[in-house]
Homo-oligomer: A and B are copies of this chain.
């Protein structure tokens, strides 16, 4: 099977490329980043906001499946520039969906959305199912829901074979340290290496979220793309507090640290608890997560610890 991974240069893209190759797929990746794609695959530079460029590439490669992961993924970045977020996350997705639809059924599309589209979830609505109300609460989640609307449109009208994944938070080695688990792991690795005093800067620890390992998530992407059309949640099926992430990472590191709450990070979460129902993923494509949270955090910590030694 020939797979095109759009947005292969990011954290998740690298893992997806590796997984697809392990499954025997022929993989081509695209990125608009100056850094090379991590995984071992043919790679192209692609700016998804350039429609003709998207169309040209799809026509040359004629992939069986397109995995679309490209876009602005960091919430504060989307918040500060809505115009650009619309252009990249929405119009960019429209370019991809439109040209996939033109393949008349040869190329199917998996759009990687986000569980953030559920937005303001009431406690009575937990666990979050695919049929839950969608109340996107920031520019990032708005743009993801908008892109879903675009994909759904081509699915109904243009004969596009498409599916939408809504992953909850996922973590793992190499994740950008702007994200919370990676951030704590990096701070602890620095302490362990003696590079900083044993003090950890943290924000609000009360929010409870649904964390999975990125390697489980990308396995889910291939299963959804190759077996199902529709919307599918991917997550752990349970909520863990940020405090529990922190405590587990401290335990893994073996460090004794002082926790210091940074007032800049202390804005309370808009939604105290979020976690997904993942029965649908199991039913439609047999997916269940395999990697425990502790394993995932150990690997993330180890990644930073080893990187610091190497640097």
Contacts and interface: CB of A to CB of B under 8 A. Distances in A.
B152 A135 contact: yes
B146 A149 contact: yes
B94 A87 contact: no
A246 interface: no
Contacts of A91: 82-83, 86
Contacts of A137: 153, 156-157
A136 B32 CA distance: 30
A234 interface: no
Contacts of A145: 149
A150 interface: yes
A62 interface: no
B156 A120 contact: yes
B120 A94 contact: no
Given A82-B91, A83-B91, A86-B90, A156 B135 contact: yes
9 smallest CB-CB distances across A and B, nearest first, come from: A146-B146, A86-B86, A83-B91, A82-B94, A142-B149, A86-B91, A82-B91, A120-B156, A86-B90
Nearest to A139: B94
Contacts of A142: 146, 149-150, 153
A236 to B, nearest CB: 27
B157 A136 contact: no
Interface string A62-95: 0000000000000000000011001100110010
A283 interface: no
Interface in A183-223: none
Nearest to A98: B82
A72 to B, nearest CB: 14
A153 B139 CA distance: 9
A270 interface: yes
A138 B86 CA distance: 17
A157 B156 CA distance: 32
A150 to B, nearest CB: 6
Nearest to A145: B149
9 contacts: A83-B87, A83-B91, A86-B86, A87-B87, A120-B157, A137-B156, A137-B157, A146-B146, A146-B149
A146 B90 contact: yes
Interface string A269-309: 01000000000000000000000000000000000000000
Contacts of A157: 120, 137, 270
